[in-house]
Structure 1
């Protein structure tokens, strides 16, 4: 199948598996460059599995997909680190090294993704921390930061390689509403500066306030608000 050059994500006729179980069938969608998209659905409906498939943590066994120029359905193991340099991944549970400072957490990722020049690394580290509002946090340990600040570190980490798209799995799920609003505004700012966003969320208030496109995992299918007529229930 030929893919066009415009979308940053293209998925065609994919089946998403978790172990031996099929969680989503016949999945097809595009995400355009610079687009902001919500991903919703009940717990266990396939949201996280879909995201993991897009960044090649779960193998795409049926169907075709391209993310940031990489074909996911036949990606080689040695290509996966290069794919992940083109995308940023934001987790709900932070996944920071608790025994390393903020700077050391970011430097670890930079070294793992091929950065060599120490001067450029130092400059980029300062840039991403400033971008997320944590210019003075480089020497702090994770336990010295609030939950919202830790999530900002995670977002800074995801921005290190100037990704084409951020994949965010419930990034505000563990935060109180006011802090969550600030994190969401940061995602909006990142999107306005040219990075596409695919954000899984249970936050129904976000969906009410911000009428972005919605992908909904429901009963083994992926529904798209661009092409499907579905309502957003508070059970998501």
Structure 2
């Protein structure tokens, strides 16, 4: 039986003026799931993902990754959480004057004290996974956008995370490149890694059926899984904090 890996309970983000970016979000994710997070721009997708890797903090509610309550991790210990997580952002940030190898290696160095031979081994392993063998010495600015996205994914998985969080990873790609990147995420998921992906790609969501969390104006209105779904049309829960 797959164990529960993520648990989100009564999570809200409130700003001044009683404005909510997210309101009373509840869901859990099991080990090995692939979860799409969908919704229009401004629905709260990116905010929700940022809560998971503590880029932002919720105003109310709790988030657990494994047995760890995310809000209670102090900043000096955040690297321990991020060892469990790989993050692929919509806009990839690279060291533009460095090589592919160097851009991946820095992710290992940020969370561990690995030796140079281990760094090389792990970097070559993930480059093989993402189909970039032999590209170690290429500069980032010499790569196509699709190749850069592969490097970003390699960087996200190089510490062997249990969860990969991806925010609109195909947003700037043409249809062919987007399909190849999605195949890569499915491949990584097939290895046992949990994937949480925010996306606007309704074609992919409808073609490759996985679990869907739908947000609308900061509220969770749908949690659809294989074999059925739970719909929250009004989200009229009483908010007690």
After TM superposition, the score normalised by the length of structure 2 is: 0.89
Unmatched 5+ stretches in structure 2: 234-241
Q: CA RMSD in A?
A: 1.7
CA spacing shift, 1:86–1:136, aligned 2, 3 Å: same
Aligned match of 1:10 = 7
Answer with 18-27 or 110-119: which moved more.
18-27
Q: Do the aligned partners of residues 229 and 52 (structure 1) sit closer, same or farther apart at CA in structure 2, a change above 3 Å counting?
A: closer
Say whether 1:171 aligns with 2:169.
yes
Residue aligning to 2:231: 228
Q: Which residue of 2 aligns with 1:206?
A: 204
**Does the CA contact (< 8 Å) of 1:16 and 1:50 recur in 2?**
no
Q: Residue in 2 aligned with 1:234?
A: none
Secondary structure of 2:101's match?
helix
Contact 2:9–2:27 (CA<8 Å) still a contact in 1?
Answer: yes
Is the contact between residue 42 and residue 217 of structure 2 (CA under 8 Å) also seen in structure 1?
no
Query: Contact conserved, 1:68 with 1:83, CA < 8 A, in 2?
Result: no
Going from structure 1 to structure 2, the CA distance change for 1:42 and 1:154 (only over 3 Å counts) comes to same
Aligned pair count reads 226
Name the CA shift for 1:159/1:144 in 2 (closer, same or farther; >3 Å).
same
Instruction: String of CA shifts for 1:13-71, please: whole Å, max 9, x gaps.
Output: 11134687421111110111000010011111100000001100101231111124421
Instruction: Give the Cα separation in 1 of the matches to 2:193 and 2:199.
Output: 18
Structure 1 residue 115: deviation in Å? Answer: 3.0
Following TM superposition, where does structure 1 have runs of at least 4 consecutive aligned residues deviating by more than 6 angstroms? none
How much has 1:180 moved relative to structure 2? 0.3
Structure 1: runs of 5 or more not aligned: 231-236
Please name the residue that 1:233 is paired with.
Answer: none
Q: 1:150 to 1:19 in 2, by over 3 A?
A: farther
SS in 2 for 1:227: strand
